[in-house]
Amino acid sequence: RKSIHNMIISHHDDDQNGNDVRQKQNFNDDDGSNITMVADKVANLLLKPVLKHFEERLSVLEAKIDDLERYNRTFCIRLLGISEEATEDTTLKIVSVINNNLDMSITTSDIENSHRIGKRINDKHRPIIARLYSRSLRLQILRSAYKLQGKNLNISIVEDLTKRALTLFQNERS
């Protein structure tokens, strides 16, 4: 009797386990999409804080880079509209433009480095960037740059802005 009773109980347990498996199978659909959906939700819950942390860190690092670039450019000016020649000394051209048009007197020793920037285009004059030894001289040049407007030279002297600052400036002007 016990063996028949054990067989009935065993069969009932097997039947119950089979029902559990079938219920789980039905829950997961035939293609396992529910498991995938749950796995995606879990991954999103785990990754959102990590992603947010990295986005915040990226913003902080971008701001630091912008600050460093802006500080590095505090000695620089850009000169636009100066004619370009095959062999030229940009430092001498800068000294000439400033001395002849801004009522100032500078020498080549006031300029640490200068060169043209950008790709060479046939009809356009590339800007010249100049790094000065003195911030006060840079400020004096920028304050006197308005004198170029009345001389019909199509030359201008502007600050050397970072891409981010230039974009902000252009957006504010328009």
Q: What is the pLDDT of residues 85-141, one digit of tens each?
A: 888 999 999 999 999 999 899 999 999 999 999 888 888 889 999 999 999 999 999
The confidence band for 21, taking pLDDT boundaries of 50, 70 and 90, is: very low
Average pLDDT over residues 140-161: 89
pLDDT for residue 26 is more than 70:
no
Distant-in-sequence, close-in-space partners of 76: CB < 8 Å, separation ≥ 6: 129, 130, 131, 132, 138, 159, 160
The pLDDT value given to residue 116: 94
Domains and CATH numbers, the chain: 2-70 (no CATH), 74-173 (3.30.70.1820)
pLDDT for residue 173 is more than 80:
yes
Terminal-residue alpha carbon distance, the chain: 96
**52-65, pLDDT tens digit by residue?**
999 999 999 999 99
100 or 9, higher pLDDT: 100
Contact 135, 71 (CB under 8 A): no
| CA separation for the pair 66, 47 (Å, rounded) | 28
